[in-house]
Amino acid sequence: DAKTTQPTSMDCAEGRAANLPCNHSTISGNEYVYWYRQIHSQGPQYIIHGLKNNETNEMASLIITEDRKSSTLILPHATLRDTAVYYCIVRANTGTASKLTFGTGTRLQVTL
Amino acid sequence: EAQVTQNPRYLITVTGKKLTVTCSQNMNHEYMSWYRQDPGLGLRQIYYSMNVEVTDKGDVPEGYKVSRKEKRNFPLILESPSPNQTSLYFCASTFGPAYEQYFGPGTRLTVT
């Protein structure tokens, strides 16, 4: 699975959009970009994933650059409950293993 | 409600005393995994299972055993716990590699 690079931490004001970047310059053609988050020490929570096209769901939007070497997770209206560590993970959707390789993620602090 | 449950949530034990952490999911998922999370090291996969009676090692399997006798349950067994197994443990399940993973709430284990 390709390696990812994320900023260690970010701040965002409540109500504003939080834009979390991720670099994955060695991504392969069959690898997807996944985002999970972990609030305090709870179990990680799936947010969104995509291959090439931008994706949106009720939680967030995922913007993937045309060369697929980087992506941005957007929380359109961040709230205090969005304070968490956000993990960008790149992996192929094939194979027999279901392993996710978590890096150190970005610690997002949403403030009043 | 779709969920992954783990028990116990907190456990303090002594070196060498066998213990089992249970994991159960109600989503009829084929795949289940165990991860451990340690400061600075992120989440690392211990063992995974692709179906009943099919298990395989993850990245850090030493000192652990698992079994998958029923689809919904995937217990983690520490035959002779040691202090270096003090960690936060998460169980996860999914339909397969192309699907999101659902994580349990975590088990905080301390071995003295």
Tens of each residue's pLDDT in chain B, 112 residues: 889 999 999 999 999 999 999 999 999 999 999 999 998 888 999 999 999 999 999 999 999 999 999 999 999 999 999 999 999 999 999 987 778 899 999 999 999 9
Q: Largest Cα–Cα distance of chain A, in whole Å? A: 44
- Tell me the chain B residues in contact with residue A92 when contact means C-beta distances shorter than 8 Å: 97
CB pair distance less than 8 Å for A98 and B42: no
* Cα(A36)–Cα(B74) distance, integer angstroms: 23
What pLDDT digit, counting tens, does each position of A43-55 carry? 999 999 999 989 9
A96 has a pLDDT exceeding 70: no
Q: Is the pLDDT of residue A99 over 80?
A: no
**Span A65-95, pLDDT tens digits:** 999 999 999 999 999 999 999 999 998 776 6
Confidence of residue A1 (pLDDT cuts 50, 70, 90): low
Q: Distance between CA atoms of B78 and B66, rounded to whole angstroms?
A: 9
Single out the residue of A24, A22, A4, A20 nearest to residue A12, CA to CA: A20
Count the neighbouring beta carbons within 10 Å of the beta carbon of residue B40: 5
The whole-number pLDDT of residue B41 equals: 85
Nearest to B45 among A41, A95, A99 (CB): A99
Task: Report which of A10, A105, A31 is spatially closest to residue B43, judged by C-alpha positions.
Answer: A105
Taking the mean position of all CA atoms in its chain, how far away is CA B79? 14
Whether residue A2 is predicted with pLDDT greater than 70 in this model: the reply is no
- Give the model confidence (pLDDT) of A16-36 as tens digits: 999 999 999 999 888 899 999
Q: Where are the beta strands (DSSP E) in A17-83?
A: 18-23, 31-38, 45-50, 55-56, 61-64, 70-75
Q: A18 CA to chain B: closest CA distance, Å?
A: 22
Q: What is the token pair recorded at A7?
A: 């900023």
Phi, psi dihedrals of residue B74, rounded to the nearest 5°: -150, 75
What does residue B62 show for φ and ψ, rounded to 5 degrees? -65, 130
* Interface with chain A: mutation pick from B43, B59, B87, highest number of A CBs within 10 Å: B43
pLDDT at B42: 85
Question: CA A102, CA B45: separation in Å to the nearest integer?
Answer: 10
Q: A97 pLDDT exceeds 70?
A: no
